[in-house]
A and B are shown apart, each in its own frame.
Chain A
Amino acid sequence: MTGRRLSVGIVGASGYAGGELLRLLSGHPGVEVTQATSEQHAGKFVYHVHPHLRDQSSLRFVSRDALAACDVLFLAMPHGQSQAHITHYAGLADYVVDLSADFRLRDPAFYAAAYQRDHLAPNWLPRFVYGLPELSRDALTSAHYASGVGCNATATMLALWALVKSGTIVPDQPVIVDLKVGSSEAGNSPTASSHHPARSGVVRPFQLTGHRHEAEVQQAFESYGAFDIRMAVTSVEMVRGVAAAIHLTLPVGLPERSLWNHYRAAWDNEPFVRIVHARQGIYRHPEPRLLAGTNYADVGWEYDPDTGRTVLLCALDNLGKGAAGSAVQCMNVMCGFEETTALTFGGIYP
């Protein structure tokens, strides 16, 4: 990349993912966020909506109508809005990263089946690269358009990937994905179910079958077979975080070391995926609380060699690795920056 800082616009910057983009990009030496749109908050300083950005950004929100050309455009709007205006947005920037679900699936029929409506810009679907660098880095290197990732799909894919890639898991059984998720997954528009007296303290199963993110995982693994992915999501007492526990059966008698070898082969060279499978301490498995604000995903497993009973694990921050973090990582890959730029915050503890 040249020495010039790239200009960045964020459309839909008042949401949680938009705020996370603003936070991450404020520390990026290669870019400058020059525009942040919000129809509801146009004219306000961004820190009025994202209070943690006081003294981090002096930007004011503008309306989408005032959006000017820039180098990179992040679209962080509710699902369905990017596809309605993608030609306009693509005309404003060389690079577009869309965080919504609009361009994650390549096949319009697959999209219609998963989202129960026809896609408004089906000719754009094959132009987008799926925005998870761990699975699509090579394609992202030459891409100008990247999709976002589903946070629950990301946790599922990263939990499974080492054993799918190695051929240890074959698509001959249902893959049962138990996901515990935080309240920020629901976005920043209040609802009756997100009202504090109703939400606080819950362990609320809210989508146990037919989750839309199943389609993303099936698409990502399609070259390895037609996996039967079954997600079940439960809201728990967290603001940020996804914890995936994937239940399946592997052949009996696998040496523990062979599982380590598969995980190391998949993840040793990945900057943001860590193997957490420890024999000591109180955090022996991936734990989302430790990952709040980070772009890291931790993966691990529990395996019973006598029965083959297996649980694969992944934890991440739904707004970080599950949304804005991966989006910035995509931009880094697409624009030739060091992939980890602005993404190495390690979290806080306790």
Chain B
Amino acid sequence: MQTECVECGAVITVSEDVMQGEILACSDCGAELEVIELEPLTLDLAPMEMEDWGE
């Protein structure tokens, strides 16, 4: 199955056995995407822990 990253629009390929709540990563922008629904397949940005990422 294919869908789009909700952040950057990149094509995301999702395996057939994907589970609700599973976290996927976008290979273009690195966003973590949570599978909100399976029918229809719906992704949303997963909550991210705020950090200063080393800066």
Contact = CB atoms under 8 A, between A and B. Distances in A.
Interface stretch (A59-67, A225-233, A279-287): A279-287
A277 B31 CA distance: 10
B54 interface: yes
Given A282-B54, A284-B53, A277 B9 contact: no
A282 B53 CA distance: 6
Interface stretch (A84-92, A167-175, A238-246, A255-263): A255-263
A279 B29 contact: yes
Interface of A: 256-257, 260-261, 275, 277-282, 284
Given A282-B54, A284-B53, A260 B31 contact: no
Contacts, number: 33
Contacts of A284: 30, 53
B37 interface: no
A171 to B, nearest CB: 28
A158 B24 CA distance: 31
B30 A280 contact: yes
Q: Do most interface residues of chain A lie in helix, strand or loop, or is the interface mixed?
A: loop
Contacts of B54: 282
A279 B48 contact: yes
A260 B30 contact: no
Contacts of A278: 29-30
A279 B28 contact: no
A260 B32 contact: no
B48 A257 contact: no
A284 B9 CA distance: 18
Contacts of B48: 279
A278 B7 CA distance: 10
28 contacts: A256-B7, A256-B8, A257-B7, A257-B8, A260-B8, A260-B9, A260-B10, A260-B28, A260-B29, A261-B9, A275-B28, A277-B29, A278-B29, A278-B30, A279-B7, A279-B26, A279-B30, A279-B31, A279-B32, A279-B48, A280-B25, A280-B30, A280-B31, A280-B32, A281-B30, A281-B53, A282-B54, A284-B53
A275 B54 CA distance: 21
A272 B54 CA distance: 27
Contacts of A275: 28
A277 B7 CA distance: 11
Interface string B1-28: 0000001111000000000000001101
A266 B54 CA distance: 31
Which of B29, B48, B54: most chain A CB closer than 10 A? B29
Contacts of A279: 7, 26, 29-32, 48
Contacts of B8: 256-257, 260, 277
Nearest to A255: B9
Nearest to B25: A280
Contacts of B25: 280
The 10 closest A-B pairs by CB, nearest first: A278-B30, A280-B30, A260-B8, A257-B9, A282-B54, A279-B30, A279-B31, A282-B53, A260-B9, A279-B29
Contacts of B30: 278-281, 284
A254 to B, nearest CB: 13
Interface string B21-51: 0000110111110000000000000001000
